């Protein structure tokens, strides 16, 4: 299904269609504040495995992160956050960052890795935020398979390429080609693993 969600004022009926699909174990392609992502409900194991198959990887080997609504939602999935770390997260979120943090027991077993870390995001994107509010929990997020190409910015092109692999492709206008900046917060000082759209300020 190819479904339009206006970037500033997403239609509540279409929002409901997407969140019901996620709750039922569906896989969707949706906009973030950077690139379009491949996502599902983090608690739907079959959907998580399906995303790994689309990416041609193993679940615990793939770089998957959680898209969270806000900092308090994010804090459920990581171990206790120190005051300096909290300040740093607060000053950069919502925004185009993926923060690697120690995973808490709230992270579903299927998504736990040997390193016991998890990537967490709070995008500055109205469609994302609206979907998360309606769903009531995080959405698993990973990039589309293959190399980042210009086709991945155009929802119509994405739909042509992936409509047989996913349940819904959301059209929320042209996306970016620059992914989020990945910051490892499990080391001191914090380390930028991938420079993307966000710039880390001390």
Question: In tens digits, what is the pLDDT along the chain, a chain of 202 residues?
Answer: 999 999 999 999 999 999 999 999 999 999 999 999 999 999 999 999 999 999 988 876 667 899 999 999 999 999 989 999 999 999 999 999 999 999 999 999 989 888 899 999 999 999 999 999 999 999 999 999 887 677 889 999 999 999 999 999 999 999 999 999 999 999 999 999 999 999 997 5
Is residue 33 a contact partner of residue 96, using CB atoms and an 8 Å limit?
Answer: yes
What is the CATH number assigned to the segment(s) 2-194? 3.90.870.10
Closest CA to 176 of 155, 161, 156, 162: 155
């Amino acid at each position: 299904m190819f479904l339009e969600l206006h970037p500033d004022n997403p239609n509540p009926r279409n929002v409901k269609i997407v969140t019901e699909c996620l709750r039922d174990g569906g896989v969707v392609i949706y906009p973030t504040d950077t690139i379009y992502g491949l996502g599902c409900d983090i608690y739907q194991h079959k959907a998580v495995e399906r995303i790994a198959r689309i990416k041609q990887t193993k679940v615990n080997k793939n770089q998957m992160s959680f898209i969270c609504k806000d900092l308090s939602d994010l804090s459920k999935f990581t171990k206790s956050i120190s005051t300096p770390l909290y300040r740093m997260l607060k000053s950069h979120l919502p925004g185009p960052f993926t923060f690697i943090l120690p995973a808490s027991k709230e992270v579903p077993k299927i998504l736990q890795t040997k390193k016991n870390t998890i990537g967490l995001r709070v995008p500055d994107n109205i469609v994302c935020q609206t979907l998360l509010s309606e769903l009531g929990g995080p959405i698993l997020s990973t990039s589309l398979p293959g190399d980042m190409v210009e086709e991945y910015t155009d929802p119509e092109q994405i739909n042509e390429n992936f409509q047989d692999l996913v349940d819904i492709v959301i059209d929320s206008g042209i996306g970016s080609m620059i992914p989020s900046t990945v910051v490892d917060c499990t080391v001191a000082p914090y380390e930028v693993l991938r420079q993307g759209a966000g710039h880390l300020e001390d």
